[in-house]
Amino acid sequence: MAIQDIYPTALRLLGRPVLVVGGGPVAARRAKGLLDAGARVTVVAPAACPALSDLADAGLLTWEPRTYRASDVDAVWFVQTATGDAAVDAQVAADAEAQRIWCVNASDHEASAAWTPAVAVVDDVKIAVNAGGDPRRAMALRDAVATALETGDLPLRRHRGSGTGAATGSVALVGGGPGDTGLITVRGRRLLGQADVVVADRLGPRELLAELAPDVRVIEVGKTPGHHPVPQSEINRILVDEALQGHRVVRLKGGDPYVLGRGGEEAEFCRQHGVEVEVVPGVTSAISVPAAAGIPVTHRGLAKGFSVVTGHEELSEVPARADHTVILLMGVGQLRDSAASLARAGLPQGTPVGIVENGYLPNQRVTIGTLGTIADQAEAVGVANPAVIVIGDVVRVSPFAPSHFKTADYSTTAPNAPRTTKTRVLTP
């Protein structure tokens, strides 16, 4: 049978009687698929493998423990034969053909009246692939298409209603990560491919917006330090209004929605107005952007914990120790005040400080100094947001740190070695 002989279609078997002849693993897989489609399945076989027996014992199908009879095909809508005996399978197929019933003959795909494709399900999309009777080829193609749908490389967006009568859409708060398009989660990328409306921040994986279909609306609500053209209350209203019009809305944020991203406020507002909301975590810039400069926020022998604050917050409650990492977000404008506050709390002036601008992007820049020098350094080179500021001994690990910042006081091979108390003078 040539591939041109195939007319692709989908059978709706809900509540319809179907017949499976055979009791082995292949018959069990086919019976399971037919049950998933809602068919009323009868299996005819002298013996049944454990998988089929379990389905029968659970009352999900009827098992007739005997050999096949020609009358078994009477009044059924579809037949699958997989006995492992080519002669029996051929007889079942001939009996079905005589009654104009579609039959899949597992023993002889060339003579079979129908083929079973390789199938995968992604959301409410069912992928079925035939590949000229080559099942391994079909499975490989199926898996490739399913993966592309799962990752958002192929669009899952609906273009007509589901027919369920539901008028309300949904909102997904998607953390886009630090900006690199490869650092958004698979779930976030997939939801973006399904969106009708995207409410976008200034940060995050902006390049993905160019890949959206032309009729997907992008509503810009980005903020910059000291400039919030779209207030939070208006963003909340936009999300709810668009969802109530039946749209799938993605709120695309940089970093993580729940790490200084006001995602909690947006989720609460949606729920208060009867809108379904999903929160998709993102790779927070507090951890990922330092990593882009080779700075771990914790490191054996250097730091066991860290605090994340904004530059607008009081730092008096943060542990003032070089072995406790302090991460400042949105802190460039008040860097001098923040450094002075930490120094007054007891943090040594020689504590290493790193600033990472535009983490993971082509224009990434790293500036490294000390608590006493970093404000002047930042002003001299024009450091600007978006930037993450890391304060603590972990900055010594960065490959961008000057050589005299390096220390033998930490080790990944002997992490329990005591740290020296010798004072080092660190200059930029």
Q: For residue range 112-123, what is the model confidence (pLDDT) as tens digits?
A: 899 888 888 887
What is the pLDDT at residue 148? Answer: 84
The number of helices, as runs of H, and strands, as runs of E, in the chain is 10, 17
197-221 in b/e form (b: 16+ CB < 10 A) is bbbbbebbbbebeeebeeebeeeeb
Q: Taking 80 as the threshold, does the pLDDT of residue 203 lie above it?
A: yes
Is residue 201 annotated as a catalytic residue, yes or no?
yes
Residue 388 lies in a domain: yes
Residue 71 lies in a domain: yes
Alpha-carbon gap, residue 116 to 84, rounded angstroms: 16
103 and 175 belong to one structural domain: no
277 and 177 belong to one structural domain: yes
Residue 277 lies in a domain: yes
pLDDT band at 161 (very low <50, low <70, confident <90, very high): low
Nearest to 293 by CA among 381, 350, 365, 380: 365
What is the pLDDT at residue 94? Answer: 96
What is the pLDDT at residue 224? Answer: 62
Please pick, among 89, 95, 180, 201, the residue that the annotation labels catalytic. 201
In this structure, the number of other CB atoms found within 10 A of the CB of residue 71 comes to 8
Please pick, among 223, 241, 337, 409, the residue that the annotation labels catalytic. 223
Q: Taking 70 as the threshold, does the pLDDT of residue 421 lie above it?
A: no
Average pLDDT over residues 40-64: 96
Residue 373 lies in a domain: yes
Q: Which domain holds residue 380?
A: 287-405
Residue 424 lies in a domain: no
What is the pLDDT at residue 198? Answer: 96
Which domain CATH number covers 245?
3.40.1010.10
125 and 180 belong to one structural domain: no
Residue 162 lies in a domain: no
Mean pLDDT value across the chain: 87
276 and 326 belong to one structural domain: no
180 and 191 belong to one structural domain: yes
Residue 397 lies in a domain: yes
Q: Taking 70 as the threshold, does the pLDDT of residue 109 lie above it?
A: yes
What is the pLDDT at residue 428? Answer: 46
291 and 376 belong to one structural domain: yes
Residue 136 lies in a domain: yes
What is the pLDDT at residue 271? Answer: 95
298 and 392 belong to one structural domain: yes
| Residue 241: strand pairing partners | none
**Count: domains in the chain:** 4
